[in-house]
Amino acid sequence: MTDSTKSATLTLDGESYELPIFSPTAGPDVLDIRKLYAQAGVFTYDPGFTSTASCDSTITFIDGGKGELLHRGYPIDQLAGKSHYLEVCYLLLYGELPSATQLEDFETRVTNHTMVHEQMHNFFRGFRRDAHPMATLVGVVGAMSAFYHDSTDISDPWQREVAAIRLIAKLPTIAAMAYKYSIGQPFVYPRNDLDYAANFLHMCFSVPAEDYEVNPILSRAMDRIFTLHADHEQNASTSTVRLASSSGANPFACIAAGIACLWGPAHGGANQACLEMLKEIGSVDRIPEFIARAKDKNDPFRLMGFGHRVYKNTDPRAKVLKQSADEVLELLGVDDNPLLQVAKELEQTALNDPYFVEKKLFPNVDFYSGIILEAMGFPTSMFTPIFALSRTVGWISQWKEMIGDPQNKIGRPRQLYLGETERDYVDIENR
């Protein structure tokens, strides 16, 4: 962080306090309040931390008004259109796009770590078959610290590197195992001859009884879903990973904490909520009814998968994923899937309705990822685990950045206390 050249003056009860202002390379200026309590005896109040910068970072920048998402300065549409997931992983982890040699080495390291410890298979059998795959994922990822003791010392740069590679490599395997376990099929081991996305699809959909060939269109769509969810700045789950890691917790515990946070329907469950909305609509002829309900301020119905809390214009990730959605639906067809028929018609209706255009309620990344995963044959319960394995690299990149930050200190948010003031204990017979 550079020294501040600007400041703001806060006047409180006749006393004035100078607060430094830092200017980022992009985005609004930031008021430094770290010494506010020591100097003025007051805290700031910011529920949800929506106006508070908890860290400085060089990884991801979002401008919601412009509909802009940059990873290390590169626009997400360029990365998703020209690159692939593991190259973006390298970029997020190390700060620059790799050379051909660096990328080959990185892909080899990830590929060689995709298998999990054989004894970890026993963990899955401790869960009920009908357990949500996210519950399984939280438990198994947290348990990784019990198996990989040689990569839990966060003070050792090499152990941090090994933990990062292991998590990126093994999350698809663990997520696929969670899926297979939930449907009563045998686990499928990873294959080193397949790329990252194709390997995940193979582990999810192949069975020992017959050969399974991954369609390149589906593999590309899966890779784009991974890429478009790789990181999204200081969101709830990323902030959770950072807060957990601020205590010095091992990386596997921190990522498990991030997965647990992502499970919430307001965060990682958004594309699942989108599909559940499509099920509620049920058929194309009911779309006008639900469009009218979405416009009615007094109706609790919400059109899931449209608009975004951060992006006040179009979601830049949605533009890219729409192309993959069109390719997948053309490949697999929608004639026999009422949900996908509703999705396609709803998309066109919303894109052409003046109400939604005016309010910029365009289809977002959750809408398109949801219909792609539905078309591929994934149950909605697997949507959030796929999001989790995609976001793992972002969590790790943010974790590594925080560990290496000399300003790093344990997180300790303050509160506006509104409870009872001090009072004397009353014996039970007198209450």
Residue 29 belongs to a domain with what CATH number?
2.20.28.60
- What residues are labeled active site? 308, 366
Average pLDDT over residues 77-96: 96
Threshold 0.85, pTM exceeds? yes
Please calculate the CA angle 147-151-155 and round it to the nearest 5 degrees: 145
Select the more confidently predicted residue: 334 or 142: 142
Do 190 and 326 share a structural domain?
yes
d(CA 124, CA 137): 9
Contact 88, 227 (CB under 8 A): yes
Q: Is residue 269 part of a domain?
A: yes
pLDDT at 314 > cutoff 80 = no
Contact 357, 242 (CB under 8 A): no
Contact 196, 226 (CB under 8 A): yes
What confidence tens digit (pLDDT) does each residue in 158-189 have?
Answer: 999 999 999 999 999 999 999 999 999 999 99
pLDDT at 4 (0 to 100): 64
What confidence tens digit (pLDDT) does each residue in 211-253 have?
Answer: 999 999 999 999 999 999 999 999 999 999 999 999 999 999 9
Note down the domain range covering 47: 7-53
d(CA 357, CA 354): 5
Contact 282, 342 (CB under 8 A): yes
What confidence tens digit (pLDDT) does each residue in 259-301 have?
Answer: 999 998 778 877 788 888 888 999 999 999 999 998 888 988 8
- The rounded mean pLDDT for the chain is 92
Residues 6+ apart with CB under 8 A from 218: 201, 328, 331, 376
pLDDT at 31 > cutoff 80 = yes
How many other C-beta atoms are found inside a 10 Å radius of the C-beta of residue 62? 21
How many other C-beta atoms are found inside a 10 Å radius of the C-beta of residue 279? 13
Do 302 and 396 share a structural domain?
yes
Do 35 and 101 share a structural domain?
no
Q: Is residue 64 part of a domain?
A: no
Do 160 and 48 share a structural domain?
no
What confidence tens digit (pLDDT) does each residue in 294-310 have?
Answer: 888 898 888 888 877 67
Do 229 and 171 share a structural domain?
yes
Q: Is residue 67 part of a domain?
A: no
Name the band, by pLDDT with cuts 50, 70 and 90, for residue 2: low
pLDDT at 316 (0 to 100): 84
Do 375 and 310 share a structural domain?
yes
Q: How many domains does the structure of the chain reveal?
A: 2
Residues 6+ apart with CB under 8 A from 365: 228, 229, 271, 315, 317, 318, 321
Structural tokens at position 96: 């620059």
Contact 170, 144 (CB under 8 A): yes
